[in-house]
Amino acid sequence: MPHSPGHRRSRYGRYTGGPDPLAPPVDLAEALDAIAEEVMAGYSPEQALREYLRRGGRGREGYDDLARRVAERRRELLQRHNLGGTLRDIKKLLDDAVLDERKQLARDVTMDDTDRAFREMQMDNLPTSTAAAVNELSGYDWQSTDAREKFEQIKDLLGREMLDQQFSGMKQALEGATDEDRAAIREMLTDLNELLEKHRRGEDTDEDFAEFMARHGDQFPENPRNIDELIDALAQRSAAAQRMLNSMTEEQRRELMELSAQAFGSPELMDQLGALAGNLQAMRPDLDWSGSEDFSGEQGLGLGDGTGAVQDIAELDALSEQLSQAYSGARPSDIDLEAINRQLGDEASVSAETLAQLERAMRESGLLRNGADGSLRLSPQAMRRLGKTLLNDAAKNLTARSGARDAQLAGASGEQTGATRPWEFGDTQPWDVTRTVTNALQRTAAEGSDASNRLRIEVRDVEVVETEARTQSAVALLVDTSFSMAAEGRWVPMKRTALALHHLVSTRFRGDELALISFGRLAMNMGIDELTALPPVHEQGTNLHHGLLLAERFFARHPSMDPTLLIVTDGEPTAHLEEQGHSWFDWPTHPETLRRTVTQLDRVTRRGARTTFFRLGDDPGLKNFLDQLADRVGGRVTAPDLDDLGAAVVGEYLRFRESGYGEVDWG
C-alpha cells in the first residue's frame, strides 16, 4: 500500500552499543546509604565514595571486580601464548620445502647423478638452526616448483611479520601483495623516517604532516590529527615490539635477527624499520623500551600478534592502575572506557560507565559538596535524606515493638503543622475540609457516578490536620565516644541513632531544642554533621561528668523548656573534669570520678530533667552502676540491641512527650 507524502516509517534495528536507553537510572539512595555508613564508621566522604565505587552496589560490579577481571585477562594472555609462532611457521615452511625438494630430486630421472648427489648432500647437511638453514638456502636453485614457492613464502612471511610488529594489521593487509605494494610500503617508510628526522631537528611544518598523510594516510587507521598523535601511536607499538623481543629467549632473538635479512628478500626493510625504531625511541624515551613478560603457554604468536599481546598487557596494566584509584588526584573519569571495552567487552564497559555516572551524579546531585578545605562532605540535603531513612527505620522497629500503628511522628494535639493525613478511628484532630471535599470529588469522577447526584463524602475521603504540641522540650542526647564503642561495633549504631533523633526533632518538633553531646576523654557539643563524620580515636576515658556539665549548661540556656536527658554508654565513667579544665583518667573507676559524676547528675536532675540510660553490652559492673544511678534520680535503664537502639531512643523521647503533653499522634 503506497504511503502518503510525509508519512514516515519507523525502523528498528539491533542495539549496537553506547548508553543503554532502557537502563535504569543510578540508585543514589542506595549509594548515599552505603557512603553514609562508611562516613559514620570513620571514613571521610571522599574515601567512602571511593570505597563504594570500588565495592559496587547491589547487582552492580565495582572497580575491584573489574580489576580482578583485568588481572585474569592479563594472566590468561601470558599462560595461553608463547612468542615462537613466527619461528615455528618458518620452520614448518622450511621443512615442507626441503621435503618437496627431496621428492623432486628422487623422481627426476633426467638429472645428472653427480648434481643430484650434491643437492641431496646439501639437504642432508643443512644447519639445525632454522635461520642458518634459510640463509644457506637463500641462493639455492630449487628444482621443485612447490619447494621454491614455500621458500619464497618464508621471505614474504618474514617481511609481513616485521612490518606487523610496527604497523598493526600489515600481516593481513600484505598477504598476496605484489612487488608494487611492497614498493609502496618502502616508500612510506622512507617518507616517514624523513618526516620524523625533520621533526627531531625542529624543521617540520604542518604542511609536511598534511602532505605525508595525503600520500600514506590509508596506512594509518588511527587517523592521527597531527604529528604528535602519529608519533604517540607509532611509539607505543614500537615500544611494545621491543618488549616483545625482550621477552623472547636469547636463542629466539638470535634466530630472528639472522632471519630478518630475508624479509621480502631485501635487507633494506630492516634498515628502514631500525631507523624508525631509533627515531621513535629518541622522541618518546619515557615509554617502557626495556621491559619484558613471561609468556609460558602453548599457543604460538607471530611477531605482530606477539607485539599486540604485549600492547594488550600494557593496556591492562594501565587499566589496573586506573581502576585502583590509588594514585594522587585519581578520579573515575581517568578510566579509559574504550580500553575496558577492548579488553573485557561491552558488559564491563557498561559497568564502568555506570560507576562513572554514579560518581558524577553524587557530586552533581547536591548530596556531596566541597568543604572550605577542598574535602568532600555530606551536604545538609544528604543529612536530611539520611536522617529521614533512619527515622523511618526506627519508627518501624518502634511500631513492631509496641504493636501500635505505623508511626508518622507528627506531634501531639495543639498547633497545626500544615500537613494532613487520612482519618483513622480514634482521631480527634480537626478535618481539613478542602482536602476532604477534593478527595470526594476525585473519587466520584473516577468511579463514574452520575453527575446529577449530590456529592457524598465517605470515611475514606476524610483527611485531618496534623498538629504539634505547644509545650517545648530541651533534649540532651549524651553519646559515649570512648574507643570501646568503636572496638565493640557500637560506633555506627550510635551515630545512626543520633541522626534519627535529630531528624525527628528538626522536622516534626521544630519547637524543641536538641543538644548532641559526645563524651570520651573529654566531652563536647557537636553539630549533627560533626558527629556523623567523627572518626574513632584510640583514646581511653569515659568522661560522663563533663558530658553532664555541658547538659546542665544547655538546660540553663532554655529554662522555659522541659528538660530530657538521654544517655547512651557502654562503660562506667573513668574520667572527670578538674577545675583547671584538664581531664583526669584512671581505671578502674576512681572514687573521685564517681563522686563528681553522681554530684553532677544530681544537679542536672534538680533542674527537672527526666533521665534514661541506654546500656550497651552485658557488663555486670556497668549494669549495677547504671541501675543505682537511675534509682537515685528516678530515671530508668534500658538495654536495647544495637539494631534497636534508634527505636529505643526515639521511643523514649516520644514517651516523655506523651506523658507530659498529651498523646502523640501515631497516624
For 591-612, how does the pLDDT look when each residue is reduced to its tens digit (9 = 90+)?
999 999 999 999 999 999 999 9
pLDDT score at 75: 93
Residue 165 to residue 187: CA distance in whole angstroms:
18
257-261, 398-402, 520-524, 593-597: least confident range: 398-402
pLDDT score at 402: 55
pLDDT score at 29: 73
pLDDT category of residue 358 using cuts at 50, 70 and 90: confident
107-111, 163-167, 401-405, 482-486: least confident range: 401-405
- The burial of 76, by beta-carbon neighbours within 10 Å (0-12 exposed, 13-18 middle, 19 or more buried), is given as exposed
Would you say residue 15 has pLDDT above 50?
no
pTM: 0.61
Mean of per-residue pLDDT scores for the chain: 83
What pLDDT digit, counting tens, does each position of 619-645 carry? 998 999 999 999 999 999 999 988 888
pLDDT score at 434: 85
- Higher pLDDT among residues 561 and 384, named by residue: 561
**Alpha-carbon distances of 581 from 333, 554, 601, rounded to whole Å:** 50, 18, 19
pLDDT score at 78: 92
What pLDDT digit, counting tens, does each position of 568-593 carry? 999 899 999 988 888 888 888 899 99
pLDDT score at 557: 94
Q: Residues 550-555: what's their mean pLDDT?
A: 95
What pLDDT digit, counting tens, does each position of 124-151 carry? 999 999 999 999 998 899 999 999 999 9
Domains and their CATH numbers in the chain:
28-81+316-378 (no CATH), 84-294 (no CATH), 415-468 (no CATH), 473-661 (3.40.50.410)
pLDDT score at 486: 86
Would you say residue 43 has pLDDT above 70?
no
pLDDT category of residue 105 using cuts at 50, 70 and 90: very high
pLDDT score at 372: 58
The DSSP string of 207-262 is HHHHHHHHHHGGG-TT--SSHHHHHHHHHHHHHHHHHHHHHS-HHHHHHHHHHGGG
pLDDT score at 462: 87
pLDDT score at 440: 85
pLDDT category of residue 69 using cuts at 50, 70 and 90: very high
Query: How is the chain split among helix, strand and coil, in percent rounded to 5?
Result: 60, 10, 30
505-514, 551-560, 653-662: least confident range: 653-662
C-alpha cell of residue 660? 507530659
Say how many CA atoms lie within 13 Å of 35 toward its Cβ: 29
What amino acid is encoded at 228 in this protein?
Answer: D
Q: Which phi and psi (to 5°) does residue 636 adopt?
A: -150, 165
**83: helix, coil or strand?**
coil
Would you say residue 14 has pLDDT above 50?
no
pLDDT score at 378: 67
Q: Residues 322-346: what's their mean pLDDT?
A: 85
Q: Among candidates 506, 511, 435, 426, which has minimal Cα distance to 468?
A: 511
* Residue 495 neighbours by CB distance under 10 Å: 26
**370: helix, coil or strand?**
strand
pLDDT category of residue 229 using cuts at 50, 70 and 90: very high
82-86, 166-170, 381-385, 655-659: least confident range: 381-385
What amino acid is encoded at 633 in this protein?
Answer: V
Q: Residues 541-546: what's their mean pLDDT?
A: 93
What amino acid is encoded at 628 in this protein?
Answer: Q
Residue 565 to residue 310: CA distance in whole angstroms:
68
630 contacts: CB under 8 Å, gap ≥ 6? 611, 612, 613, 636, 637
667 and 395 Cβ atoms separated by less than 8 Å: no
Among all chains, which residue has been given the C-alpha cell 616508500?
A: 187
In sign, the C-alpha dihedral spanning 515, 518, 523, 524 is negative
Q: Residues 218-236: what's their mean pLDDT?
A: 91
pLDDT score at 533: 77
pLDDT score at 591: 92
pLDDT score at 12: 43
Percent of the chain surpassing pLDDT 70:
84
What pLDDT digit, counting tens, does each position of 239-296 carry? 999 999 999 999 988 888 888 878 777 778 888 888 999 999 999 999 999 999 999 8
Percent of the chain surpassing pLDDT 90:
39
* Phi-psi group of 354: left, alpha or beta (phi > 0 → left; psi -120 to 50 → alpha; rest → beta): alpha
Q: Which phi and psi (to 5°) does residue 418 adopt?
A: 95, -10
Q: Among candidates 565, 84, 11, 137, which has minimal Cα distance to 298?
A: 84
pLDDT score at 11: 43
172 contacts: CB under 8 Å, gap ≥ 6? none
Q: Residues 447-462: what's their mean pLDDT?
A: 74
Q: Residues 501-530: what's their mean pLDDT?
A: 89
What pLDDT digit, counting tens, does each position of 472-501 carry? 889 999 999 998 898 888 888 898 899 889
Residue 577 to residue 555: CA distance in whole angstroms:
19
153 contacts: CB under 8 Å, gap ≥ 6? 93
pLDDT score at 491: 87
Among all chains, which residue has been given the C-alpha cell 565495582?
A: 62
Helix and strand totals (H; E) in the chain: 25, 14
- Higher pLDDT among residues 592 and 390, named by residue: 592
